[in-house]
Structure 1
Amino acid sequence: MTTESLLARLSKDIGKLLEFNDECNVVIKVGVTPSHHEFKAHSLILRARSSYFYTALSSDWARSQGNVIRFEKPNMSPNIFEAILRYMYNGILKLEDQDLSDILDLLCAADELMIGELMDYIQNYLIQNRSTLIDENLIEVLNIAASRIALSTLKNYCLEEITLLNPSIFESKSFLNLDENALVALLERDDLGMDESKIWDSVLKWGIINTPCLNCSLEDKIGSSNDSLTSLNYEWTSEDFDALEKTLKNCIPLIRFCHIPAIEFHKIKPYSKIIPKELLEKMIDYHLVGNSPNYNNIQPPRICNIQIDSELLNSKQAAIIASWLDRNHRSYSPKSNPYTFKLLFRASVDGPDLFHKKCDNVGPTVIIIKVRDNVDNVLVGGYNPLNISWKRPWFSPARGTKGGFIFSMDSSVKTILDKNAKLARVAPEYKEYAIYDHPWDGPCFGTGPDLWVNINPKNPIGYTTKKCYQPSITNSEMFYWEDWEVFSVQSNDNYIDNTDVYSMDTISLYD
């Protein structure tokens, strides 16, 4: 019998104590009447498994009636408490069939009851297995995580998702629902990669909508345009400004006013009453004097160093493609990506007919194509590992490589992990036909053509006909492209391998 089976047997046997209520000496009333429920438990187990109960059951918090300790938890759902209680007895907590709200409730309950290993387990489970749900509910999850010190793992994940993938959330309606703790955590970051003037606009909107005496004026007058903020407060009283200053007291010191261009000072002037005088003077002097040695304590502009210059691809998707380059079964995170994707060509800007001029003979390249009129938001693409990438001799023959691949993935930032990705590598028997060089046309993978793009803007078609690359990457063999980009792929000399990776849900992608 293995150690694991012995532990499983021990867990099962101790769990029986909860079922049979043998020698229970604690009764816990959970929930609010009439929907409350009473649970019987053993004080020794509760105190051993929970720091919260270790203190609560040995203090005046609980009251004894004879040999029974009575305790109340009105702020917790009976269903959630039952799941936590069973975990404390048998060490088992099943999350696979739970929806996001229940998992978050379990996480908050574990935090309140101070069960450290359970908090770590739930946070890691959410990040590794339910990341799409987090991305679709970033504000809700961040609000919960930012308000609890022990949930720093989940908080940092949410902050990374916003800064790396979706800084535009600052301009969304959901941004106005951020809790102050979550907003402050965002404003403290150096890597937002946004113009400071846009951050100021968004923070002002958040402050106004979260100041009770002002939020109606914002909803009635501003609509979706931030420009209206400059004239919104003409009718405000001094009490209105005082209220807004109180709402934003923890946010204003985090705004990097010196990095708002002087030409946009009109966005700041109408709200100068809520900005500390010394901060205003510092900002004005900075713009008048310039970046002099007297201002070495000025915070640097916010820059996201790992953003990718692309209209189609985000840094996390690029990291997934990089993991395919190395045939890793676990995806790199954006910070651990050992490759740089340098934009060479964008069809909508350069014109499709300049593809060969900008992309021939530049080394390994990645092609990214946005499929037009597709409800699934599909990107298709391919990797050409050849050092002489897209050469242009007339009637160039096929060239062989076993390192190339083609793929499709969801273009939405809400589903950036690889659950919806399809990866196809060249079959061994077709290795010599992996890449075709068409001097008069766009990139071509395989003889299907398995992936091909027409460079004629009047006929923006492409094909993904399965033959040389297996399996198929799309349901339809023909598509129309909306735009496409080509990147040079370069290895980072200063890359250090580490364990900063996201778990992959579909290992078969690499088979």
Structure 2
Amino acid sequence: MTSIFYSSLSKDLSSILEDADDYNVVIQVGEDQDMREFKAHSVILRARSPYFKSALSGQWITKKDDMILFNKPNITPTVFELILKYIYTGEIDLTNLLCGDILGLLTASDELLLEELVEYLQEHIIEEHKYRVQQNLILVLNEFTRYERIRNYCLEYFCENSHLFIYTKNFLSLEKDALYSLLERNDLQIKEIDTWDCLIKWGIEQIPGLNSDDISDISQLNDENINSLKDILDQFIPLIRFVEISNNDFLNKIQPYKKIIPNNIYEEFENFHREGILPKIMILPPRIGKFGSKIIKPKLMNIIVNWINRKDHYNINDPHYKFELIYRGSQDGIDNKSFKSKCNGRIASLVLVKVQDSDKIFGGYSSIGFNSLGDDYSTVYGYGLRKYNAVGNFIFSFENEDDDQNMKISRVINNSDAILDHFDSGFNFGQGSLCMIEQNLHVNNISRSYEDNISTDIVYIIEEIESFIVLLKE
């Protein structure tokens, strides 16, 4: 049996750091009045930090009287003291530390290749400093785009609150990488023509000597400015959903900027807007707006939209939808009563289910909802069982939250049994084709009311479940 005494080890190493008389490294951090020297041991620095393992190699170090001298002017003493404590003891104390210092600590930890600390700090910033991050969103996006968790949080917050940021002067200071990350998302919640207007303003701001406030249309730009604008926006133009823009806006706001749009892109969408000819080039899916699922990623929602439209791929003439979350099991309770209380009414609805001990995702779409629809559209049987006739219903599965290759769909083939409503189930597609009974999910399709593409004998335990009402976009 192995006994572990990390507490004592951490305490002893802390005393070595504080009272060392055998140190062999002096590290000078900070600049000018905010400069300080720290004493350390090369063997510990090398063992704990890949950066120091490389930096303290013989070919890089400077020595004086057998002492290794090292300078890090880009790290403040406050931050480095915390890092050194972490390196020696594995402890980090962020109590009363300002958000700016924590962001500096994140940057320094990343530079010193302290991956464990980088991951912890990202989570801490998101959980404890959300408000400060939101208030300085553009700055954080520009400076911390390389940190995946912080970037994703900032992008999601921006998209949910697009109207608060995209029309501001701060938006015009976005760095290229941050702007690209925003425009490629499907959940940006502003009109596409407004996205275009803001992109043009952003591009003009990048041209030295020009101010977007002084430029009302392209006629105020000379040929050199137009060529510059074309080069600046070249990588962003393919991210604009031109099919989401009305004919009038295309004529009045896109056509004047024809010179900055690649010919093949412009001609395709001009033919679409003038003559209704479908573009042959790849079209990005429509932005679906806010879609707050914790179960699947937005790109899978676009697949579901195609299925609702009974298409295998996006078509510009298809209806566009928005999805409003009305129920989440982890918040509202995973049981029949909770589901029924939140998800009643005759309205098109979607349910998503994440099951335990698997990455698999199940779901179903009902054009008439799940329960409490009333007697006029139902057949009433014994024991309070109601069967509802519905057209267009389907059930489906994904292998995981992000897999758009291995999905399966089963459409309803017996419309009269499309949806059942009974006291012993939260929802029930086709007598067990996809059925929630308290915390269990059944996918057996014994009734053969749906195509037999996803049926299984396994009874899954529901880990998370969400339901959305499906509305046509205005």
- Residue 167 of structure 1: how far off its partner (Å): 5.2
Alignment of 1:444-459 (within 5 A): none
1:117 Cα shift? 0.3
2-structure distance, mates of 1:500, 1:93: 36
1:254 aligns with 2:239: yes
Describe how 1:6-405 pairs up with structure 2 within 5 A.
6-58=5-57, 60-146=59-145, 148=146, 151-166=147-162, 168-215=164-211, 218-219=212-213, 221=214, 231-265=216-250, 266-288=252-274, 290=276, 292=278, 295=280, 297-304=282-289, 306=291, 323-326=330-333
Aligned equivalents of 2:117, 2:340: Cα separation in 1? 36
Q: Which runs of 5+ in 1 are unaligned?
A: 222-228, 309-313, 329-336, 345-357, 360-386, 390-488, 502-511
Does the 8 Å contact 1:165/1:315 carry over to 2? no
Task: Go from structure 1 to structure 2 and tell me whether the alpha carbon gap of 1:101 and 1:34 turns closer, same or farther (over 3 Å shift).
Answer: closer
Residues 3 and 305 of structure 1: CA distance in aligned 2, closer, same or farther (over 3 Å): farther
- SS of aligned partner of 2:166: helix
Matches for 1:464-483 after TM superposition, within 5 Å: none
Contact 1:167–1:192, Cα closer than 8 Å, also in 2:
no
> Is residue 46–residue 52 contact of structure 2 (8 Å, CA) maintained in 1?
yes
Q: Is the 8 A contact 2:47 2:53 kept in 1?
A: yes
**Structure 2 CA distance for partners of 1:497 and 1:291, relative to 1, 3 Å:** farther
Q: Which sits farther off after the overlay, 181-190 or 241-250? A: 241-250
Q: Deviations over 1:129-177 (max 9, x none)?
A: 333333333222222221x2xx111111211222235454222333223
The Cα of 1:490 is off from its aligned counterpart by 8.9
Q: Tell me how far 1:270 sits from its aligned partner.
A: 2.9
Contact 2:334 2:465 in 1 (8 A): no
2:289 partner letter: C
Question: 1:306 offset after TM fit, Å?
Answer: 2.0
Task: Return 5+ residue gaps in structure 2 as ranges.
Answer: 294-321, 348-370, 374-425, 436-440, 442-460, 467-474
Structure 2 equivalent of residue 452 of structure 1: none
Offset of 1:123 from its aligned partner?
A: 0.9
- Aligned-residue Cα RMSD (Å) equals 4.0
Identity of aligned residues (%): 38
Structure 1: distance between partners of 2:88 and 2:157: 36
Deviation string for 1:66-112 (max 9, x for gaps)?
42221211222121111111111111112232222111111111111
Q: Find the counterpart in structure 1 of residue 403 from structure 2.
A: none
Q: Which amino acid aligns with 2:225?
A: D
On the 8 A contact 1:196/1:255 being kept in 2, the answer is yes
| Residue identity matched to 1:272 | K
d(CA) in 2 for partners of 1:46, 1:339: 58
Q: Deviations over 1:358-381 (max 9, x none)?
A: 99xxxxxxxxxxxxxxxxxxxxxx
| CA–CA separation in structure 1 for the residues paired with 2:149 and 2:271 | 40
Q: d(CA) in 2 for partners of 1:59 and 1:499?
A: 54
Greater alpha carbon shift after TM alignment, 281-290 vs 32-41: 281-290
Question: Is residue 100–residue 133 contact of structure 1 (8 Å, CA) maintained in 2?
Answer: yes
Find the aligned partners of 1:199 and 1:289 in 2 and give their Cα distance. Answer: 24
Aligned AA (1:276):
P
Cα 1:137–1:214 change in 2 (3 A) is: same
Q: Provide the rounded CA distance (Å) in 2 between the counterparts of 1:160 and 1:118.
A: 24
Give the match's secondary structure for 1:194: coil
> Counterpart of 1:31 in 2: which secondary structure?
strand
CA distance in 1, matches of 2:134, 2:428: 29
- SS of corresponding position for 1:28: strand
CA distance in 2, matches of 1:188, 1:99: 33
Deviation at 1:45, TM superposition (A): 1.3
Aligned to 1:71, the other structure's residue is in SS state strand
Following superposition, the deviation at residue 60 of structure 1 comes to 3.3
Runs of 4+ displaced beyond 3 Å: 164-168, 288-292, 314-319, 321-324, 337-344, 489-501
Whether the 8 Å contact between 2:167 and 2:198 is mirrored in structure 1 is yes
Kindly tell me the number of residue pairs found equivalent between the two proteins.
334
- For the 8 Å contact 1:339–1:491, the answer to whether it is kept is no
Give secondary structure in 2 for the equivalent of 1:72: strand
Measured in 2, the distance between the counterparts of 1:243 and 1:8 equals 61
* Contact 1:25 1:41 survives alignment (8 Å): yes
CA–CA distance in 2 between the matches of 1:500 and 1:45?
48
Contact 2:26–2:68 (8 Å) recurs in 1: yes
Q: 1:233 to 1:342 in 2, by over 3 A?
A: farther
CA shift in 2, pair 1:154/1:21, >3 Å: same
Per-residue Cα deviation, 1:207-250 (whole angstroms, up to 9, x for no partner): 222333212xx23x4xxxxxxx6x43323212222333343333
Give the whole-Å Cα distance in 2 for the aligned partners of 1:59 and 1:242: 50
**CA separation of 1:210/1:109 partners in 2, compared to 1, >3 Å: closer, same or farther?**
same
Cα deviation 1:414-456 (Å, max 9, x = unaligned): xxxxxxxxxxxxxxxxxxxxxxxxxxxxxxxxxxxxxxxxxxx
Task: Work out whether residues 172 and 201 of structure 2, in 8 Å CA contact, stay in contact via their aligned partners in 1.
Answer: yes
Deviations 1:457-503 (A, max 9, x none): xxxxxxxxxxxxxxxxxxxxxxxxxxxxxxxx9999799955899xx
